[in-house]
Amino acid sequence: MDEPPFGFQYCRYCGGKTELVADVSPHLICTSCDKSDYFNSKPCAEALVVRQREVLLVKRTIEPYHGYWDIPGGFLELTEHPKIGAIREVSEEVGIDINIHCLLGVFLDQYDSGEMIYTLTHSYLAEPVGQPRPLSEVDAVGFFSQEVLPDKIAFSHAREVIDMAFKTYDELNRLEDR
């Protein structure tokens, strides 16, 4: 048995001390009530909002990645579908509605290197309805072309999904032009 990671030392059922079982599928066992608790990634959603072949990014005012450009999105609420979550996050951060075209993919990422939080993000391609402005947890917004993306972009999966967004945007436009 090993020490549980910080934040996981106590059982969430009874408050007893936990122990870490570090086997193929690491989990906690409570030394009082004997219940097991497994680690999971946290579901998130984000929107790649593209207009005239430029993607909307927002500048973060919170850690992690404070001051980095970011894809608008965030953690899902308990009973929230990722599509609804993506729409809500964009509305909270930049005050606009979006039309979602499709799911680009689902990406596993580490939220903060200092904590054991992993995210599982549903990434949607969308178009904006209205003009975005910085609101919650954001102090700037911008549309960026694929050629002039900012250097500092938050989260490891961001560049991959931004590339996918442009590729899918181009494919959808080709289909429309036929």
> Which of the ranges 28-36, 44-52, 136-144, 168-176 carries the binding residues for Zn ion, by CB under 5 A?
28-36
DSSP for the chain, please give it.
-BPPPTT-SB-TTT-PBEEEE-SSS-EEEETTT--EEE--PEEEEEEEEEETTEEEEEEE-SSSSTTSEE-SEEEPPTT--HHHHHHHHHHHHH--EEEEEEEEEEEEEEEETTTTEEEEEEEEEEEEES-----TTEEEEEEE-GGG--S-BSSTTHHHHHHHHHHHHHHHHHHHH-
Q: Taking CB under 5 A as the rule, does residue 30 contact Zn ion?
A: yes
- Total residues at the site for Zn ion (CB under 5 A)? 7
Q: Does 12 bind Zn ion (CB under 5 A)?
A: no
Q: Considering only 27-35, 54-62, 63-71, 136-144, which stretch makes contact with Zn ion by CB under 5 A?
A: 27-35
Query: Does 154 engage in binding with Zn ion (CB under 5 A)?
Result: no
Taking contact as CB under 5 A, which single stretch among the options 4-12, 39-47, 83-91, 144-152 is the one that binds Zn ion? 4-12
Name the residues that contact Zn ion, by CB under 5 A. Answer: 11, 13-14, 16, 30, 32-33
